[in-house]
Amino acid sequence: MRRVLKAAGRAVPGQGISRRIADARTYWSAMSGEAWASDSHWRTGLGDEAWLEVGRNHLDIFHRFAKGLDLPSGPGRVIEWGCGGGANAVAFAPIASTFLAADIAPESVTECVRQVRAVCQTSVEPVHVDIANPERAVDGREGSCDTFLCLYVIELTAGPEEALRIVRIAERLLVSGGLALIQVKYRTADRRTRGHRRDYRRNLANMTTFGIDEFWLRAIDCGLTPKLITLVPRNRLDARYAYYALIKP
């Protein structure tokens, strides 16, 4: 049916948001197959070299943003929203005062905590997130974090409004003056870079995309102040990455 509609020049109808959220929950809770381990950025899924490179590259972006904004070089109390198998955590936790590992997959939280404890003595706290009600994970933690990380996650959300829920969560978690380092996959004039509204398993790495200026403005609506942006048109994992430095007023 999709092929017929495309051939006729008609848009393929999207699935409802509740269906997309349910499909996302099913996928991330499955914990099966090489694709899942790679998508979740487990060391066993990416391989040692690529896995370590993810964290190093993101820590470098953090340091560039911190220097440009005259922020401390250390991230303080950090929460990573969508920690996966710990690729970023092992780079950030050794220089953090505390590291909170948040994810919708309990197995990924456990793996992330294990990886952090293997490389440093920083206190690490597991945070389990309900994909249908992610705000619940914030209760009691409002205004407690200096740095909010969300990397290789936004494109996996079930739609733009689900992605912006994460930005609003960042605003709640951060202290005044705190930094949110959030990465999105940006779209271009090529219609194929638009986000998808169906078939989560097939399209999970491209479910949600934003125009570069669009996300900047939407972040303001969510209560954060955009300060800096850097683009990575392509790396070994994928393409069209935009990284934003957002400050909690």
Give me the sign of the Cα torsion angle 249, 215, 61, 127.
Answer: positive
Checking phi first, is residue 165 left (phi over 0); if not, alpha (psi -120 to 50) or beta?
A: alpha
Q: For 183, list phi and psi in degrees, rounded to 5.
A: -110, 135
pLDDT value at 9 more than 60? no
Query: In the prediction, which pLDDT does 34 show?
Result: 78
CA distances from 13 to 10, 159, 199, 204 (A): 9, 14, 11, 17
Q: How far apart are CA 6 and CA 138, in angstroms?
A: 42
In the structure, what pLDDT confidence band is assigned to residue 128 with cuts at 50, 70 and 90?
A: very high
Q: Given pLDDT bands bounded at 50, 70 and 90, which one contains residue 105?
A: very high
More confident: 33 or 16: 16
pLDDT in tens, 147-178: 999 999 999 999 999 999 999 999 999 999 99
In this predicted model, what pLDDT tens digit does every residue of 63-91 receive, in sequence order? Answer: 999 999 999 999 999 999 999 999 999 99
- Average pLDDT over the chain, rounded to an integer: 95
Burial letters for 212-221: b for 16+ Cβ neighbours within 10 Å, e otherwise?
A: eeebeebbee
pLDDT > 60? residue 7: no
Domains of the chain: 2-247 (3.40.50.150)
